[in-house]
Structure 1
Amino acid sequence: MYAQIEIIRHLYPNISDEKYKFYLEAMIPHNYTQVAVFEGDECIGLTGLWYGIKLWSGKYMEIDNFIVHPDHRSKGIGKMLTDYVNQKAIDLGCTMIVLDAFTGNFTAHRFYYNQGYNPRGFHFIKTLNEDGLT
């Protein structure tokens, strides 16, 4: 996963190598994984995945850090990733797939609507340390 830091930097341009390694080491033991699409040796699409259980949903899968390289957008890479995630969630017996998209990211909203995702509620945050954010 660490080898794909350059595509991660399309979302988080200032993430350091050390922070990314540290986060991966903390996340992997909690069911975090990544799925990537390659063209030759170049990673052109990537998404992180988590699965867990909540009282209201049962077993669920969460998409996290969904990235398609800007030079490869509108080529079906995103759909390829969401199709894979959908099948993986079915195979794991999940009841749903969830994700967060920033409120102003209308391109992502349109994409997710087209893939069958719909908003169900609000994801509220209370920032406690602005300097700690990536």
Structure 2
Amino acid sequence: MIPIPSTIYFIKPIESPHELDESFPVMNQLRTDLTLDTYRELVAAMRPQGYELYALYADDAIVSLAGIELRVNLYLEKYVFIYDLVTCANHRSNGYGEMLLHFVHEYARDHSAKYVALESGLARTEAHRFYTDKMDYAITSYSFRKQL
């Protein structure tokens, strides 16, 4: 009997331009309006504000991404905001999003944050079930915006 090699998982920050380009096909599944050029420009503009992008790799391929920022405000005090959390469509339901979210929770604890917060589109009911039922997040508010 031939042993089946186990999948090797690791999480690392996306830092180089090559890594950013490599992450685009996964991010584009969540942020469908982005082009590669716009993705590069926006990430470059967000980094000075504290935006960090982490990738979960399975056997050297990016399968999940989390874009986060450590923030402070008057109602949550110090917290980590998740801008982006996405798992590649053909890798969903394998626990990758959960692994990456646990990583974000540890990141928050390591940085003395009190909360991890995120927003999710109204139509993303499966994502909402994941956050509330599996990851024990509470729905605490609505998010409003006005296009100018």
How does the TM-score come out when normalised to structure 1? Answer: 0.90
Question: Could you tell me how far apart the structure 1 residues matched to 2:32 and 2:145 are?
Answer: 22
* Displacement after TM superposition at 1:82 (Å): 0.9
2:128 maps to a residue whose letter is H
Counterpart in 1 of 2:99?
Answer: 80
Q: Among the aligned pairs, what percent are the same residue? A: 27
Say whether 1:127 aligns with 2:147.
yes
Higher-Rg member (1/2): 2
TM-score by length of 2: 0.82
- Offset of 1:13 from its aligned partner? 3.0
Is it true that 1:118 corresponds to 2:129 in the alignment?
A: no
Deviation at 1:116, TM superposition (A): 1.2
Task: Give 1:15's aligned amino acid.
Answer: L
For the pair 1:31 / 2:85, whether they are aligned, the reply is no
In structure 2, runs of 5+ residues without a counterpart are 1-13, 15-19
Could you tell me which amino acid in structure 2 is paired with residue 123 of structure 1?
A: S
- In 1, distance between residues paired with 2:146 and 2:74? 23
Distance 1:124 1:88 in 2: 28
SS at match of 2:69: strand
Q: Which of 56, 60, 77 is the equivalent residue of 1:41?
A: 60
Partner AA of 2:61 in structure 1: E
- Cα displacement (A) at 1:68: 0.5
95-104 vs 13-22, which moves further:
13-22
Provide the C-alpha distance between the structure 2 equivalents of 1:50 and 1:32, rounded to a whole number of angstroms: 5
Match of 2:7 in 1: none
Partner of 2:72 in structure 1? 53
In the alignment, what sits opposite 2:3?
Answer: none
Q: What CA distance in whole angstroms lies between the structure 2 residues aligned with 1:69 and 1:39?
A: 11
